[in-house]
Amino acid sequence: MDNASISVVRYAPPYYTINAIAYAVTYNTSVITKYENTYFLDYNRSFKSLVGHFSNRDALLNSMKNNSGIKWRMNGMTIYNLDGSIKYPYMYIDPLEVDSTQESALFSPSYQSANYVFYKSYNMYFNPPIKNQTF
């Protein structure tokens, strides 16, 4: 994640929208992919908000699996060779032409990225990090 790229677009609790650049290094294809993403978070679906609404941890976890409270959209990407040279130039995805917004599955890379940028923006986690997750 490029910390300098993290930018809050919408602060309207319980709804948050944050832009950020994420990188994925894929050694088996020898590329680095730069993703320009937007993350949409609904704090009503956070662990802290949901925990009191369920009688047991399995029901809570199932609810979170069905709706993590996080969506994301890729706005554009560039693919580089491992030496930093451009393999495929920047590709912009116009959200007015293509709605690439999708749900973030619980603990998926987009979920983890959204949780991280939320933390960097507000100094608190949307959901506890995996290592501290208590189910």
Q: What are the pLDDT digits (tens) for 79-133?
A: 999 999 999 999 998 887 888 899 999 999 999 999 999 999 999 999 987 664 4
Q: Is residue 29 part of a domain?
A: yes
CA distance 85 to 87: 6
Residue 9 has which token pair?
A: 């677009």
Residues 6+ apart with CB under 8 A from 42: 14, 15, 69, 70
Has residue 54 been placed in a domain?
yes
Q: How far is C-alpha 55 from the chain's CA centre?
A: 28
Residue 131 domain-assigned? no
Question: Which residue carries 């032409």 as its tokens?
Answer: 97
Could you list the residue range(s) of the whole structural domain that residue 14 is in? 2-125
Please check whether residue 80 lies inside any domain of the structure.
yes
Structure tokens at 8: 């809050």
Number of domains into which the chain is organized: 1
Q: Is residue 134 part of a domain?
A: no
Q: What is the pTM of this model?
A: 0.88
